[in-house]
Amino acid sequence: MSDTPGTSAGTGAEDYEHPISHEDFRQLGYKMIDAIVDYRSNIEKHPVRSEVAPGYLAEKLPESAPTQPEGLDAILSDVQTHIMPGITHWQHPSFFSWYPANSSYPALLGDMLSSALGVVGFAWIGSPAATELETVTLDWLARFLRLPNAFLSTGTTGGGGVIQGTASEAALVALLAARARPLDGRDPGADGPRLVAYTTDQAHSCVKKACAVAGIQHLRLLPTSAERGWALDPATLEAAMTADEGHGLMPFFLTTLIGTTSSAAVDPVAELAAVARRHGAWVHVDAAYAGVFACLPDQHDLYFQGLEGVDSFSTNPHKGMLVTFDCSALWVQNSFWLRTALSLEPQFQFAGLRHAAEHLDYKDWQVPLGRRFRALKLWFVLRMYGTERLQAYLRHHLDMAKALAQLVEADPAFDIIATPRFGLVCFAPRGASEEESTALLERVNASGRTFMVHTRLGGRHVWRLAVGGVHTQWRHVEEVWALVQKVVGGGEA
Amino acid sequence: MSDTPGTSAGTGAEDYEHPISHEDFRQLGYKMIDAIVDYRSNIEKHPVRSEVAPGYLAEKLPESAPTQPEGLDAILSDVQTHIMPGITHWQHPSFFSWYPANSSYPALLGDMLSSALGVVGFAWIGSPAATELETVTLDWLARFLRLPNAFLSTGTTGGGGVIQGTASEAALVALLAARARPLDGRDPGADGPRLVAYTTDQAHSCVKKACAVAGIQHLRLLPTSAERGWALDPATLEAAMTADEGHGLMPFFLTTLIGTTSSAAVDPVAELAAVARRHGAWVHVDAAYAGVFACLPDQHDLYFQGLEGVDSFSTNPHKGMLVTFDCSALWVQNSFWLRTALSLEPQFQFAGLRHAAEHLDYKDWQVPLGRRFRALKLWFVLRMYGTERLQAYLRHHLDMAKALAQLVEADPAFDIIATPRFGLVCFAPRGASEEESTALLERVNASGRTFMVHTRLGGRHVWRLAVGGVHTQWRHVEEVWALVQKVVGGGEA
């Protein structure tokens, strides 16, 4: 086909024929479904961590895109030959790195529908259903996690939820809302208050990045300690805020943590929020990984008290709750400052709560303009699992982590380094030097039979085993534990 | 199922059984494929614009998520009954609003694979293939669009491409890179230079939002005029930068536009870049909509000259080039300042180009940490269409817009308001007042047979007809034109 098809100016252009018709797609779609079932049901045949060398792919692929259409078979063949070796298999049941990003079939079905609809719900009229289903499903999720009523769209404070891509974006927009409050219409930084943000030395790097992006110069990474379980002491926060105020700075933003990246530590949120509120700061809770465990009554009682006193709360259903990445939930008790920070329409910006109730444009709750219809995958997961199965699923991971922690504790060759919480167990080979510990973990990972990453706690090289894969059963945890014992005992992986 | 399944501490937890097995999914996946084919092949039966009232959905859905699993049939039935009325059908062939966000079957197949793999390629090791295929496909796309070699990963300046979610995020990270350059390691704003950004009054709101997010206080929205086709006069930029420097400000960032949001206007990029470079400012080209047309030789010659002199260039394959939202491509001639602004690892931050070549972590090229494997859908589109079909597809839209413009021009009841470019035609009913024009456009849209939005040019209410839907053929353009003529002529829609 020529790149300049004939046209008849004034009467119209030639019809364009897609290389794939609706009926072609039906067959190709079935084939892709089969390929997905094949991948997921045979995933254990792959090494967990990719072992390719940097730059492996470019030499295997052509320099330029093809001029003529290629078929799905050719592409799937290249996926097997060239892409799969470069995949680290996050859905492998023996993947225990970072935190999980589990991806489920119901989420996949919801996302297929989202792609097929192809709507961009930046404003309500872009597709009212995309906006309103997001509001509804985040209310569902808030009720499931027993969040305070003020976080629901049906509350009386102008609150509600929104889906961000990642917890990084949730932290950034919370920070921007927090900044809008003391500025109250003034240009940021134009002889305005010298703002200072707070979190702990255990915070996810996204807090530092949010400050860097927003141009916030003062961020305190307050110290934590092993003695307090890597949680922030409210007295430390009080002292820091008071000292900063004494130097003419204005505390404006606290990020407190439920389930830290490193060791799943939990801050005393209620006490910290009380301190921050006294000093006028916005309180954001980053529960990116752990927040979904609030659906379990005992976990809620232990770790999720005092949320009435915080301004924003975020957790990622795309981590432990089966909603394929990306789906990070953010709730605010009042969306006014979020919209003030992020709306560019002055006529709406200061119209207060009424606007939100009439006609909600989620572009004013996020940094980007465009947005996918991500509520569908969350809706599919909540409905196709149902809340009791989701609770059982998360309980299953808790139970496995607890059982693993008991095995580690019973073995004199290992130390448990932090209190096991949620699905995470942090441990280290007893008496091993930094170099030895690093080399042993690499031997475990190089086996291809699992993948864990390390963290650093109190200066020590610590192994993190995060249970939470979509296909993970107890036998996988047992296997990796046997492997770890063998390697640390001097055996071959 | 209880929410506390039995466990045998020390020996393990009960296996968790998903409500949908691999084989269940095969059947449900086929069913979803059928539902997608049914939707897409019958899309013309829907009114283009949703006509629901704000708040329509909440009352139709339960207050809480179900406790027990529900089947796909029940969900798809709710989609038909409750979701479809709230969809504005962006894939409808008579959707001519904003700019297109066309979604194709090859992209859908690629995205299904991405969801099934469920990898998070924030760092290279998160899945080397996710990072490296992105580099390769953005090189493919850069060659297809005939971008200067410096934007390719294979160039000698440390450049390359990255997929952002949206052009807003591309503009934001370009601005952050631009800010890092004059700061050169200093804290932003700490007695540093007083930075000033520039763009035109035709720029997308994302430039203003990027400045708001980053806390940049000085943004000049330089005036354009009908006489210069809503493009920025280099003399205007020169005068503004000189004046600002005279007041002790430092020009640091220019966003120049190829294909504005309002009227597809094109700035004289080469001349503007020369001015900006003389004043030390980073030059970013926002070609969100129009950039993909650079693959057509005549369009390239007309509108895409002088890109050697710009620092960053972005365009959205998710608009006109069939890669389902979200896929916004950003290229830089040197990634050093991007990584300086966005990496939080000081040990890598100033290591310069060597690091990039060895081991690329895209988290350092974007605001969020996590990221989907979006290169797959781009790869599928480039291969399953091939470059000649993609050129023919874009040519088809150009031809239809050109033919439509001729029809509008020939009709004395209408004025063409801006030079038609790419797929966009801007026109208005001749002699109509603001109120009349608004009411007439609403009558056209309320018919359900099309959807257009308006813009404002030189104070006038202008109708925008953006040709570019995945299923749009000439008959759809003819039909909407007949409808417009009829309504403006006083007939019923």
**A350-375: per-residue pLDDT in tens?**
434 333 446 789 999 999 999 999 99
Please list, in sequence order, all residues whose beta carbon lies within 8 angstroms of the beta carbon of residue B109, skipping any fewer than 6 positions away. A28, A29, A32, A72, B380, B384
* Interface touch B20/A106, C-beta < 8 Å: yes
In chain B (493 residues long), the average pLDDT of successive 10-residue segments reads 40 82 98 98 97 95 98 98 98 97 97 98 95 98 98 93 97 97 67 90 95 95 96 98 97 98 97 98 98 98 97 98 98 94 64 50 95 98 98 97 97 96 98 96 97 95 97 97 96 81
The one-letter code for the residue type at B427 is: F
**Min Cα separation B144/chain A (Å):** 8
**Min Cα separation B386/chain A (Å):** 4
* Interface touch B117/A82, C-beta < 8 Å: no
Q: Is the pLDDT of residue A229 over 70?
A: yes
CA distance A248 to A243: 9
Looking at chain A, which residue has its C-alpha nearest residue B167? A368
CA distance A39 to A46: 10
Peptide bond into A286 cis (omega under 30): no
Q: What pLDDT was estimated at residue B43?
A: 98
**Min Cα separation A74/chain B (Å):** 10
Q: Regarding predicted confidence, which is higher, A411 or B156?
A: A411
**Min Cα separation A236/chain B (Å):** 25
CA distance B220 to B279: 15
Residues A16-74 have pLDDT tens digits of 999 999 999 999 999 999 999 999 999 999 999 999 999 999 999 999 999 999 999 99
Contact list, B410 vs chain A (CB under 8 Å): 10
Angle between helices A22-41 and B105-117 (to 10 degrees): 10
Domain pair B108-385 / B387-488, same fold: no
**Min Cα separation B19/chain A (Å):** 6
Q: What pLDDT was estimated at residue A493?
A: 79
* Interface touch B369/A168, C-beta < 8 Å: yes
* Interface touch B132/A86, C-beta < 8 Å: yes
Q: What pLDDT was estimated at residue B118?
A: 98
Looking at chain A, which residue has its C-alpha nearest residue B406? A10
- In 3D space, the residue among B368, B386, B91 whose CA is nearest the CA of residue A368 turns out to be B368
Residue A415, beta-bridge partner list: A428
CATH class of the domain comprising B108-385: alpha beta
Interface test with chain B among A42, A56, A75, A204, by most B beta carbons within 10 Å: A75
Rounding to the nearest 10 degrees, give the CA dihedral for residues B137, B272, B249, A251: -30
Rounding to the nearest 10 degrees, give the CA dihedral for residues A28, A32, A34, A37: -170
**Min Cα separation A290/chain B (Å):** 17
Nearest by CB: A65 against B9, B23, B382: B382
- In 3D space, the residue among B293, B306, B295, B298 whose CA is nearest the CA of residue B267 turns out to be B306
CATH class of the domain comprising A387-488: alpha beta
The mean pLDDT of chain A is: 93
φ, ψ for residue A171, nearest 5 deg: -65, -40
* Interface touch B5/A392, C-beta < 8 Å: yes
Q: What pLDDT was estimated at residue A11?
A: 52
* Interface touch B399/A13, C-beta < 8 Å: yes
Asked if residue A423 lies in contact with residue A397, where contact means CB atoms within 8 angstroms, the answer is yes
CA distance A254 to B34: 49
Q: What pLDDT was estimated at residue B352?
A: 40
* Interface touch A135/B386, C-beta < 8 Å: no
Nearest by CB: A143 against B30, B64, B126: B64
- In 3D space, the residue among B216, B378, B170, B472 whose CA is nearest the CA of residue A18 turns out to be B472
Q: Regarding predicted confidence, which is higher, A489 or B191?
A: A489
| Residue B27 Cα distances to A9, A31, A34, A104, A110, angstroms | 48, 12, 10, 15, 15
Helix (H, G, I), strand (E, B) or coil at A166: coil
* Interface touch A342/B63, C-beta < 8 Å: no
Place of tokens 């089969």: A34
Instruction: Assign 3-class secondary structure to chain B.
Output: CCCCCCEECCCEECCCCCCCCHHHHHHHHHHHHHHHHHHHHCHHHCCCCCCCCCCCCHHHCCCCCCCCCCCHHHHHHHHHHHHHHHCCCCCCCCECCCCCCCCCHHHHHHHHHHHHHCCCCCCHHHCHHHHHHHHHHHHHHHHHCCCCHHHCCCCCCCCEEEEECCHHHHHHHHHHHHHHHHHCCCCCCCCCCEEEEEEECCCCHHHHHHHHHHCCCEEEEECCCCCCCCCCCHHHHHHHHHHHHHCCEEEEEEEEEECCCCCCCECCHHHHHHHHHHCCCEEEEECCCHHHHHHCHHHHHHHCCCHHHCCEEEECHHHHCCCCCCCEEEEECCCHHHHHHHCCCHHHHCCCHHHHHHCCCHHHHCCCCCCCCCHHHHHHHHHHHCHHHHHHHHHHHHHHHHHHHHHHHHCCCEEECCCCECCEEEEEECCCCHHHHHHHHHHHHHCCCCECEEEEECCEEEEEEECCCCCCCHHHHHHHHHHHHHHHCCCCC
CB atoms inside a 10 Å sphere around CB A317:
29
Looking at chain B, which residue has its C-alpha nearest residue A50? B127
Nearest by CB: B1 against A39, A379, A389: A389
Contact list, B179 vs chain A (CB under 8 Å): 215
* Interface touch A118/B91, C-beta < 8 Å: yes
* Interface touch B20/A143, C-beta < 8 Å: no
Asked if residue B155 lies in contact with residue B135, where contact means CB atoms within 8 angstroms, the answer is no
Helix (H, G, I), strand (E, B) or coil at A236: helix
**Min Cα separation A115/chain B (Å):** 6
Looking at chain B, which residue has its C-alpha nearest residue A214? B214
CA distance A174 to A170: 6
- Residue B108 tokens read as 């859908």
- In 3D space, the residue among B228, B207, B304, B255 whose CA is nearest the CA of residue B457 turns out to be B228
- Residue B139 tokens read as 């090189």
Contact list, B22 vs chain A (CB under 8 Å): 37, 40-41
- Residue B223 tokens read as 């005036």
Contact list, A359 vs chain B (CB under 8 Å): 54
Nearest by CB: B368 against A37, A168, A410: A168
| Residue B257 Cα distances to A111, A119, A162, B38, angstroms | 33, 25, 31, 39
Nearest by CB: A13 against B135, B204, B400: B400
* Interface touch A128/B57, C-beta < 8 Å: yes
Nearest by CB: A10 against B52, B71, B407: B407
Q: What pLDDT was estimated at residue B12?
A: 56
**Min Cα separation A363/chain B (Å):** 11
Interface test with chain A among B99, B361, B384, by most A beta carbons within 10 Å: B384
Contact list, B1 vs chain A (CB under 8 Å): 388-389, 392
> What does the buried/exposed string (b/e) look like for B185-203 if buried means 16 or more CB atoms within 10 Å of the residue's CB?
eeebbeeebebbbbbbebb
**Min Cα separation A289/chain B (Å):** 13
CB atoms inside a 10 Å sphere around CB B478:
16
Share of chain A above pLDDT 70, in %: 93
* Interface touch B118/A1, C-beta < 8 Å: no
Instruction: Write down the domain spans for chain A.
Output: 108-385, 387-488
- Residue A168 tokens read as 């990084």
Nearest by CB: B217 against A50, A189, A296: A189
Contact list, A14 vs chain B (CB under 8 Å): 396, 399, 474
Q: Regarding predicted confidence, which is higher, A349 or A344?
A: A344
